[in-house]
Amino acid sequence: MRRCESIRVLGGIVAGLRPRRLLVVAIAVIALLPIDISEAGWLPDLFKSSPKHVKPPKRAKSARQSTRPAKLARHRAPPKLHTTRLAALGPVALPPSVLKPSAGKCDPATFRIVLDVGHTAESEGAISARNVAEFAFNLRLARQIEERLKTEGFAETRLLLTEGKARPSLFRRVASANNLRADLLLSIHHDSVPNKMLEDWEFEGRKSHFSDRFSGYSVFVSRENPDFKTSLRFAELVAGEMKAQGFRYAEQYSQAIMGRDQHPLLNKEIGVYSYDELIVLRKTAMPAVLLEAGSIINRDEELKMGSPERRNSIAGGVASAVKEFCDPRWALFGPL
Ligand SMILES: [Zn+2]
Q: Are 263 and 274 in contact (CB under 8 A)?
A: yes
- The rounded distance, in Å, linking the Cα atoms of 45 and 49 is 8
Q: Report the separation in Å between the CA atom of 154 and the middle of ligand 1, taken as the mean of its atom positions.
A: 25
Three-state DSSP class for residue 144: helix
Contacts of 60 (CB under 8 A, 6+ apart): 66, 229, 232, 233, 236, 266, 267
Overall CATH class of domain 113-326 = alpha beta
155 to 79, 147, 152, 177, 320: CA distances (angstroms): 20, 10, 8, 16, 15
**Distance from Cα 329 to the centre of ligand 1, integer Å:** 33
* Environment of ion ligand 1 (residues, CB < 5 A): 118, 125, 189
Output the pLDDT for position 288: 98
Residue pair 114/160 in contact by the 8 Å Cβ criterion: yes
Q: Which of 242, 245, 294, 312 is CA-nearest to residue 270?
A: 242
> pLDDT tens, position by position, for the chain (336 residues)?
333 344 344 444 444 444 444 444 444 433 333 332 222 222 222 222 233 333 333 333 333 333 333 333 333 333 333 333 333 333 444 444 334 433 467 899 999 999 999 999 999 999 999 999 999 999 999 999 999 999 999 999 999 999 999 999 999 999 999 999 999 999 999 999 999 999 999 999 999 999 999 999 999 999 999 999 999 999 999 999 999 999 999 999 999 999 999 999 999 999 999 999 999 999 999 999 999 999 999 999 999 999 999 999 999 999 999 999 998 765 555 554
Please tell me the distance from the alpha carbon of residue 236 to that of residue 233, in angstroms, as a whole number.
5
Q: Are 152 and 111 in contact (CB under 8 A)?
A: no
Instruction: Say how many Å lie between the CA of residue 189 and the centre of ligand 1.
Output: 4
Q: Which residues in 182-201 are b (16+ Cβ under 10 Å) and which e?
A: bbbbbbbbbbbbeeebbeee
292 three-class SS? strand
> What is the secondary structure of 212-269 as a DSSP string?
-S---BEEEE-TTSTTHHHHHHHHHHHHHHHHHTTPPB-GGGGSGGGGGG---EEETT
- Are 87 and 32 a contacting pair, CB within 8 Å? yes
Ligand 1 centroid distance, CA of 115 (Å): 14
d(CA 336, CA 113): 23
Residue ranges, comma separated, of all CATH 3.40.630.40 domains in the chain are: 113-326
Q: Are strands 218-221 and 272-274 parallel, antiparallel or unpaired?
A: parallel
The whole-number pLDDT of residue 86 equals: 34
